[in-house]
Amino acid sequence: MALKTFKPTTPGQRQLVIIDRSELWKGPPVKALTEGKREQGGRNNNGRITVRWRGGGHKRRFRIIDFNARSATCLPRSCGWNTIRTAAGSLRSSNTRMASSPISWRRSGSRPATRSWRASAST
């Protein structure tokens, strides 16, 4: 994932740098690794509106991520964008199971290295 810079046509774009996500997988997520995400819509536990001017929004799927994955035998199958967390994630699979995990990008290339964020925080 490279950084994308823009030719400034307005003052707001003068220092604009965003991440180019064209290399990520654009297909739908694996349905077994997702669950429904409920919108509150400004209502409390009694169902009464407590925050005004909030609607229900579009139905969204929440991707389940295994943050404790430390298995080195799992190979990354695809790298996709997680819209609810606004972060990239990888789909890993082994002979026994399939899991989704956060990814960390290597500086040398665009191939993801699947590591647990907890393992990298302790070092």
Does residue 11 lie within any of the structural domains? Answer: no
Q: Using CB atoms within 10 A of its CB, is residue 103 exposed (0-12), middle (13-18) or buried (19+)? A: buried
Angle at 28 between CA 20 and CA 69, to 5 degrees: 80
Amino acid at 115: R
Query: How many whole angstroms separate alpha carbon 75 and alpha carbon 94?
Result: 6
Whether the Cβ atoms of residue 61 and residue 36 lie closer than 8 Å to each other? yes
Provide the domain limits for residue 115.
24-34+64-122
* 85 half-sphere exposure, CB direction, 13 A CA radius: 13
**How high is the pLDDT of residue 52?**
92
Does residue 58 lie within any of the structural domains? Answer: no
| pLDDT tens digit at each of 123 positions of the chain | 688 999 999 998 999 998 888 888 888 888 888 888 877 888 999 999 999 998 888 888 888 887 776 666 677 788 888 878 877 888 887 766 677 777 654 433 444 444 444 555 555
Does residue 29 lie within any of the structural domains? Answer: yes
Query: How many whole angstroms separate alpha carbon 103 and alpha carbon 99?
Result: 12
pTM: 0.56
- How many structural domains comprise the chain? 1
Does residue 16 lie within any of the structural domains? Answer: no
Does residue 7 lie within any of the structural domains? Answer: no
**How high is the pLDDT of residue 8?**
93
- Count helices and strands in the chain by DSSP H and E runs: 1, 9
Does residue 74 lie within any of the structural domains? Answer: yes
